[in-house]
Structure 1
Amino acid sequence: MLESERQRIDEINAAMTRLFEERMQVSAKIAQVKVEHQLSLTNVGREQEVIASQVAQLKDATLAPYLTDFYRDVMLISKQYQAKTIKGLGQTK
């Protein structure tokens, strides 16, 4: 049983890696839009909306604090990647 659960975790991790890469590609495009429209790197209101929306989709409400942490981490990584992308465009923001 443990091996089948580990195999399932491996499958989930592979899917998450594919989605992470896709998310980062979109984040790079968003960084370009932020430069073009002189937008701030951080939009706290948008981040709160996204987290609330995702938490509302949980079937197991006890996971809410963990999902909140997960999205905060993902958003931080995305902003770091956007900052690097913006710097690569010769812009500072």
Structure 2
Amino acid sequence: MLAKQRAQIDAIDQKLVQLLEMRLKVVEEVAVIKKENQLPIFDKAREANLLAQVALKVEDSTYTGAIEEIFQYLLKVSKEQQKASMEKGTGL
């Protein structure tokens, strides 16, 4: 009964995992650059702009709130990842 939809979700999840992993690798690169240039992890203007752009890209407004919430969590995780990377002195 739900096999088709669950298979679709599984395929989407696989793509999401790949994209998230790619994003976190770039976050590591950002952490290195920020550390080298003594830049802060949090950039209020950047986050506000990103969230505004995300809201504009949502095609079905029914999902705007949920997608914004997911991106807010993604930004939180990205900042935590940058902080951990900078504290370890690691990155790439």
TM-score bin (small chain)? over 0.9
Structure-to-structure mapping, 1:1-93, within 5 angstroms:
1-89=1-89
* Unaligned stretches of 5+ residues in structure 1: none
Distance in 2 of aligned mates of 1:13 and 1:75: 19
Q: In structure 1, the residue corresponding to 2:58 is in which secondary structure?
A: coil
Runs of 4+ off more than 3 Å? none
The 10-residue stretch of structure 1 (43-52 or 81-90) with the greater mean CA deviation from structure 2: 81-90
Shift of the alpha carbon at 1:64?
Answer: 1.2
Distance in 2 of aligned mates of 1:26 and 1:83: 14
Supply the AA of the counterpart residue of 1:85. Answer: S
**How many residues matched?**
90
Distance in 1 of aligned mates of 2:46 and 2:7: 35
Answer 1 or 2: higher relative contact order, Cα 8 Å, separation at least 6: 2
1:45-92 superposed Cα distances (whole Å, 9 cap, x missing partner): 1011111111101111121111110100001111111111001118xx
Aligned CA RMSD, in angstroms, stands at 1.2
TM-score (norm 2): 0.93
* Unaligned stretches of 5+ residues in structure 2: none
